[in-house]
Amino acid sequence: MKNKCKNIYITTPIYYVNDIAHIGHAYTTIIADMLTRYSKIVGYDTYFLTGTDEHGLKIAQSAEKKGKTPQEYSDIISGKFRQLWDDMDISYDKFIRTTDHEHKMGVKKAFETMFQNGDIYKGNYEGNYCVGCETFFTTSQLIDDEGCPDCKRPTTVVKEESYFFRLSKYQDRLLELYETTPDFILPKSKAKEIINFVKGGLNDLSISRTSFSWGVPLPDSMDEPEHVMYVWLDALMNYLTGLGYGGDKKLLSYWPANIHMVGKDILKFHSIFWPAFLLSLDMPLPKHICAHGWWTKDGEKMSKSKGNVVNPREIISAYGLDEFRYFLMREVPFGQDGDFSKRALVDRINSDLSNDLGNLLNRIQGMSGKYFKYKLNSKDVAKYHQKELNIADNIVTNLENYIFVMQISRYIEDIWKLVAMANKAIADYEPWNLMKDGKTDEAMALVAFVANLMAKVAVLVDCVIPHKAKQIAVSLGFEINPQNYDDIIVKRQLVHSFFITKTEQLFPKIEENFESIALPTQETNPSVKTTSTIEDDNIITIDSFFATTIKVGQITEVHDIKKSDKLYRLLVDIGENEPRQIVAGIKAYYTKDELQDTQVCIVANLKPAKLMGILSEGMVLASKDDSGLSLIRPDKEKTKGTKIS
Ligand code: ME8
């Protein structure tokens, strides 16, 4: 087995208890869960921490509004978070609360250590504070002298005695960190903004408050009963106290964290404040801060007042837990913003899960039952399918490269290449004809080959859709565990034999009609057509249309191609980690300047092809008539990567 001794430590943010969990919180937690499950199956000793952030003015105010003490209020909401993660089968090892006694002890210990190291001093704070973001701002950072630059809500003026952390002292060491560890912040594209911020100069940070009391008191040695700790110092410390820092230290061997999974909204706290605190504490730094994008609903920001907050429980009960997990991880490349719509979810379920994966299992069950009494052996698989096996194994070997650089949607996309390969093998070799022609050995080899591909898929998607992966494994008669990961994935071994069991449908198709926008009936509006006059042999269903992924992209570079007066080589950013390279025959109609930084629509799931020896990873959409060629573009600027439907 792989280096089993390696420790992996993965965390989510600890969520504020001023609100109940929605799709954004679920997304962060699901991705962290996926990475944890992956690390465990690969054989790493993995620890996964999540929890709730319960101190600070924001929570105190929310509790007051509900007529509860902050502790009572925190107990209720924290309990709801934990219950949701339990119901969603999130594989956390510890659920930490910042009101836990051990945590508070650890935070005090950290304050004392920083103070002893000369990094904390007493002063007076005068500035602006956003309660919603629990963040201090200088007046020059505000919008119209008052608004929070992050959430835009009004800030309040704060003037009070405070302890300060010498953040400014760490400016150079932070810049050195970003330079020497370019993958400290992932995706790497997000590092630039942080580096610029730090280069702009860091002010020392106010780390204690005296105007309210709902927080961790300063250590007794400071003799400052009026002060409580700044909530972000308290909160960030959870990553260490969760391992026993300042207490029994039992789990500190997991430190440093491999992955702090966060949303982009709190990247600054994790990539500036947190490493500076750790440097002051003389503790090793985390390996990666991974910042994902923001979810909106049907193109709009979610908010309670709009009533458009996506509740994970509702989605899961309507569409299924693994379906929800799959959608979140597959739909949007990590780091990009995503839009949640039921239609997009149902499209994914019906195409990727039901049509591709579910049907494949169905076919394996059907063929093995009909031809081989549900018993398959792999003895002739290599004889007939070695070439395909090599291709499949090369895809599988490469997958590992995607995970810890957060190319999660890419990981899933490549696994689906195995699914496609299996479905194609059935179509190409036609086992029903092999059986008719008496080529039983060949038919057995084919069905067993397909079952082996399915076994690999099941092991690989266990971290993504764990419950359905187990259903596949039960149907194939094998187990998903680290030993089998090692045999099937790492050592590329075949499963010698299968005893197939028929199970219920893996992903039943969802019949949901999204076209049902209420139209006036014919009686009230005679101009509304009720029968179609379209006459076209090529008519397609909506499903066929959605097999094509068309996305909005931004042209970031335009290059000539040697010896071609028709083609440009374009780099088009469609919100993935790398821009797509596309060769387009539009040179006769557009100058480079006319194209640079403009938006276009591209077919994003076209098989890559070489044109003039250059790989083209998509097709730019255009329309051409006698008057020439025009590119098809969105009429208002859209987020890069937005799907066209
Ligand atoms: O910031 N899209 O807690 P929080 C994507 N307590 N992710 C979203 C999201 C959305 N629309 N909304 C929330 C805090 N999130 C602090 C953290 S850590 C030491 C302290 C997710 O309850 C995302 O992960 O406001 C974001 O970073 C987190 O919830 C913020 O949770």
Residues 350-359 pLDDT 10s = 999 999 999 9
Give the separation between CA 17 and CA 56, rounded to whole angstroms. Answer: 11
Among protein residues, the one whose CA lies closest to atom 26 of ligand 1: 263
601 CB less than 6 Å from ligand 1?
Answer: no
The mean per-residue pLDDT over the stretch 299-326 comes to 91
Global pTM reads 0.80
207 CB less than 6 Å from ligand 1?
Answer: no
The mean per-residue pLDDT over the stretch 519-542 comes to 48
Ligand 1 atom having least distance to the Cα of 263: 27
* Helix ranges restricted to H, 215-271: 231-236, 238-241, 267-268
Across the chain, which distance is largest between two alpha carbons, in Å? 90
The DSSP letter of residue 101 is H
The H-or-E segment that residue 391 falls in is helix 381-403
Residues 67-120 pLDDT 10s = 999 999 999 999 999 999 999 999 999 999 999 999 999 999 999 999 999 999
Among protein residues, the one whose CA lies closest to atom 18 of ligand 1: 13
The DSSP letter of residue 33 is H
The answer on pLDDT for 639 being more than 90 is no
Ligand 1 mutation pick, 11, 18, 20, 25, max ligand atoms within 8 A of CB: 25
Residues 364-405 pLDDT 10s = 999 999 999 999 999 999 999 999 999 999 999 999 999 999
53-67, 588-602, 613-627: segment of lowest average pLDDT = 613-627
Give the separation between CA 435 and CA 368, rounded to whole angstroms. Answer: 12
Residue partners of 123: CB distance under 8 A and separation at least 6: 161, 162, 163, 164
Among protein residues, the one whose CA lies closest to atom 15 of ligand 1: 24
- DSSP string spanning 437-499? TT-HHHHHHHHHHHHHHHHHHHHHHTTTSHHHHHHHHHHHT---SHHHIIIIIIS-PPPSEEE
**Nearest alpha carbon to residue 376 among 446, 319, 281:** 446
Among protein residues, the one whose CA lies closest to atom 10 of ligand 1: 24
Residue partners of 545: CB distance under 8 A and separation at least 6: none
Q: How far apart are the first and last CA of the chain?
A: 46
Count of residues making up the chain? 645
Give the separation between CA 535 and CA 533, rounded to whole angstroms. Answer: 6
294 CB less than 6 Å from ligand 1?
Answer: yes
149-153, 266-270, 345-349: segment of lowest average pLDDT = 149-153
Which own/partner contact pairs does 216-223 have at CB distance under 8 Å and 24+ positions apart? Answer: 216/55, 216/98, 216/104, 216/107, 216/108, 217/108, 218/108, 218/111, 218/163, 219/108, 219/109, 219/111, 219/112, 221/112, 222/111, 222/112, 222/115
pLDDT at residue 625, rounded to an integer: 83
13 CB less than 6 Å from ligand 1?
Answer: yes
Domain regions of the chain by residue span? 341-499, 548-644
Q: Which fold has domain 341-499?
A: Isoleucyl-tRNA Synthetase; Domain 1 (1.10.730)
pLDDT at residue 133, rounded to an integer: 86
Q: How many A from CA of 262 to the centre of ligand 1?
A: 7
27 CB less than 6 Å from ligand 1?
Answer: yes
The answer on pLDDT for 4 being more than 60 is no
pLDDT at residue 538, rounded to an integer: 55
The answer on pLDDT for 5 being more than 70 is no
Q: How many A from CA of 309 to the centre of ligand 1?
A: 14
Fold equal for 341-499 and 548-644: no
pLDDT at residue 532, rounded to an integer: 52
Work out the percent of the chain whose per-residue pLDDT is above 90.
78
Q: Which residue(s) pair with 499 in the sheet? A: 375
pLDDT at residue 609, rounded to an integer: 84
Give the number of other Cβ atoms within 10 Å of residue 286's Cβ: 22
Helices (H) and strands (E) in the chain, counts: 22, 25
The DSSP letter of residue 642 is P
89-93, 288-292, 514-518: segment of lowest average pLDDT = 514-518
257 CB less than 6 Å from ligand 1?
Answer: no
487 CB less than 6 Å from ligand 1?
Answer: no
CATH code for the part of the protein at 548-644: 2.40.50.140
pLDDT at residue 523, rounded to an integer: 40
Among protein residues, the one whose CA lies closest to atom 4 of ligand 1: 15
The answer on pLDDT for 234 being more than 50 is yes
For residues 550 and 604, is the Cβ–Cβ distance under 8 A? yes
The answer on pLDDT for 262 being more than 90 is yes
Give the separation between CA 611 and CA 626, rounded to whole angstroms. Answer: 25
Q: 320-329, 593-602, 614-623 — which one is most confidently predicted on average?
A: 320-329
Chain mean position to CA 178: 23
The answer on pLDDT for 524 being more than 50 is no
